[in-house]
Structure 1
Amino acid sequence: MKAAILQMTSGIDPLANARTLTDGVAQAAGEGAAMLFTPEMSGLLDRDRARAAASLIAEGDDRVLAAVREAAAKHHIWVHLGSLALRGEADGRFVNRGFVIDESGAIRVRYDKLHLFDVDLPTGERWRESDAYAPGASAAVVETPLGMLGLSICYDLRFPDLFRALTDAGATLLSVPAAFTRPTGAAHWHVLLRARAIEAGVHVIAAAQAGTHADGRATYGHSLAVDPWGEVLLDMGDGPGLGFAEIDPARVAEVRSRVPAIAHRRAIPPVEVVR
């Protein structure tokens, strides 16, 4: 079955980003895709938190989400809306939330990013995602036309325990929408995504932000589709656009019969530490 990936250069205007998304939905459906995948922060990418806060609203009022749901229903295509920044329901912080939307426009599942990026770099740069965003409280796997889809967002990629839990729960396809920086993307993006595919014998689809954005940041791009053997089926390079990859669900069983790592998984016993 055909999967479509929308690689975006999301900006600070949610309505402009919504137009890009709905155009992508229409084009993907017109090309015969069963499902479209979009990046992290598809609706707004703005590192100026004060300016961004003026555009961030609750899920029920979000116009980007409403537009994508309407487009999915109009064109009869599933969409994994990689994530939107939304006002949270709990402690006043925002949430980084992904959605799987079916061909009727209904939301099948939501996923809030579990792992948040907090770091102090030797260069003096300081990133505190948790200052503005609350972490999610649960993981999610959902049945889609392409198979059982396990959800993650960006920095989650570095935590293999999450992907083990998703594949233990039946995922045969993993989605990793992202907005990787160029230095970390060049160093780690391809190898980590291929590793997630290989270690569990699953397809991986990673829709990414790409290019120089209106807020001044630069993202790596290279949206990927990877098969269960680790073969890269699609690499979209460093510019925005729409790409396609054929996803064969039977390939999962074939690869797992050759390397049955899932079947051989064991609970890890206590670790003995000897000094």
Structure 2
Amino acid sequence: MDKEKERPSLRAAALQMVSTPRVADNLATAERLLELAVDSGARLAVLPEYFAIISADAREKVRLRERFGAGPIQDWLARQAARLGLWIVGGTVPLEADVPDKVRNACLVHAPDGRCVARYDKIHLFGLRHGEEVYDEGETIEPGEAVVTVDIEGWTVGLSICYDLRFPELYRAMGLVDLIVLPAAFTWTTGRAHWEVLLRARAIENQCYVLAAAQGGRHEAGRRTWGDSLFVDPWGEVLASLPEGEGVVQGTLRRERLDEVRARLPAWQHRREGSFIRRVYA
């Protein structure tokens, strides 16, 4: 029998949080949500972006940065993965950057034995000017350079973070993946306008599952995030969601569903790779 057909389904969960400026409180909340996910049968759990801290002071994450491979947040992720026997996509962790006063906003994947088996550094840095609402991640974050995929129990998983969602070329560069994960902290403004349509588009055009774990609510620091953590199937159907507040969104990756969608509309086979002719008429 074809090994692809033998691959078992995978139960996955997105954890939605409303993180505070206090790391200990946030880790306690994340631990409780991870336990809920495991109790419901999840083998893979995704934490949101900035799960360990959201502060009014953007430089607080720089003060908390860790050396890759050692630090309180990374140690916590490793312990939880080993304790629960769970694959954990660790939202984002502030890691040391080449620039001394910045961080890498890094998504770390821990295996059920606690080992860190993959790292993706956020490539696209968010910037917004919308009236009094102003964001510029480039002030405190150094961008990554590499596209990253990881094998999780035979499923090819592409790693991305929040603002990456707006750049479809990143996902094409991953190749054919089975699941895209997206830890995020979309603002209420941008989430209301674009969140769901972008997530569904990435699922449709890449013919894969998408699991987005969001920050979702009004934070003590004054920020309001959109929430709406989603599990989307390869046809673009939203199978599960959570509009706002803390909680867990779960779904099951099924090989037969991937095969059905890719056979019905074999878009990957229809792609024309290479250079295209560009004509410009005056």
| C-alpha displacement of 1:263 | 1.2
Asked if 1 retains the 8 angstrom alpha-carbon contact of 2:165 and 2:198, the reply is yes
Name the SS of the counterpart of 2:157 in structure 1.
Answer: strand
Which residue pairs with 2:161 in the alignment?
Answer: 153
The question of whether the paired residues in 1 share the 8 Å contact of 2:62 and 2:140 is answered with no
Do structure 1's residue 274 and structure 2's residue 258 form an aligned pair? no
Work out whether 1:248 is the aligned partner of 2:257: no
Aligned-residue offset at 1:8:
0.5
Q: CA 1:146/1:235 → structure 2, altered by over 3 Å: closer, same or farther? A: farther
Relative to 1, partners in 2 of residues 1:59 and 1:45: Cα closer, same or farther, differing over 3 Å?
Answer: farther
Could you say if the C-alpha distance between residues 256 and 119 of structure 1 is closer, same or farther in structure 2, counting changes exceeding 3 Å?
A: same
Deviation for aligned residue 1:262: 1.0
Q: Which runs of 5+ in 1 are unaligned?
A: none
Deviation string 1:136-174 (CA, Å, 9 cap, x unpaired) is 0101010113710001100000000011111x2x31110
1:131 Cα offset (Å): 1.4
The alignment status of 1:179 with 2:188, answered yes or no, reads: no
Letter in 1 for 2:86: I
1:175-214 matches, cutoff 5 A:
175-214=181-220
Name 1:238's counterpart in structure 2.
244
8 Å Cα contact 2:192/2:226 also seen in 1: yes
Name the CA distance, whole Å, in 1 between partners of 2:78 and 2:169: 31
**CA displacement at 1:270 relative to structure 2:** 3.9
SS at match of 2:93: strand
CA distance in 1, matches of 2:210, 2:72: 29
1:222 aligns to what? 228
The residue type paired with residue 258 of structure 1 is R
What is the TM-score with the length of structure 2 in the denominator?
0.91
Structure 1 position 55, deviation (Å): 2.9
Could you say which residue in structure 2 is the equivalent of 1:143? Answer: 151
Q: Distance between the aligned counterparts of 2:133 and 2:37, measured in 1?
A: 38
State percent identity of aligned pairs. Answer: 38
Matched, 1:25 2:34: yes
CA distance 1:61–1:47, change in 2 (3 Å):
farther
Q: Are 2:200 and 2:237, in contact at CA under 8 Å, matched by a contact in 1?
A: yes
Is the CA contact (8 Å cut-off) linking 2:62 and 2:94 kept in structure 1? no
The 8 Å contact of residues 12 and 45 in structure 2, kept in 1 or not, is answered as yes
Shift of 1:229: 0.6
- Asked if the contact 2:23–2:52 (Cα under 8 Å) also holds between the matched residues in 1, the reply is yes
Q: Is the 8 A contact 2:50 2:93 kept in 1?
A: yes
Which of residues 39, 53, 64 is equivalent to 1:44?
Answer: 53
Q: Which segment is superposed worse, 108-117 or 89-98?
A: 89-98
**TM-score, normalised with respect to structure 1:** 0.93
Q: Aligned AA for 1:86?
A: L
Give SS of 1:4's match.
strand
**Hey, which bits of structure 1, 4+ residues long, moved more than 4 A?**
none
CA drift at 1:63: 1.3
Q: 1:132 & 1:23 partners in 2: Cα distance?
A: 30
Deviations 1:163-208 (CA, angstroms, capped at 9, x unpaired): 1111x2x311101111011121111111000010011210000000
Q: Distance in 1 between matches of 2:30 and 2:148?
A: 23
From the superposition, tell whether residues 253 and 13 of structure 1 become closer, same or farther in structure 2 (CA, over 3 Å): same
RMSD: 1.7
The one-letter code matched in structure 1 to 2:219 is H
What is the identity, as a one-letter code, of the residue corresponding to 1:153? I
- List runs of 5+ in structure 2 lacking aligned partners: 1-9
Over 3 Å counting, the alpha-carbon distance change for 1:51 and 1:138 in structure 2 is: closer
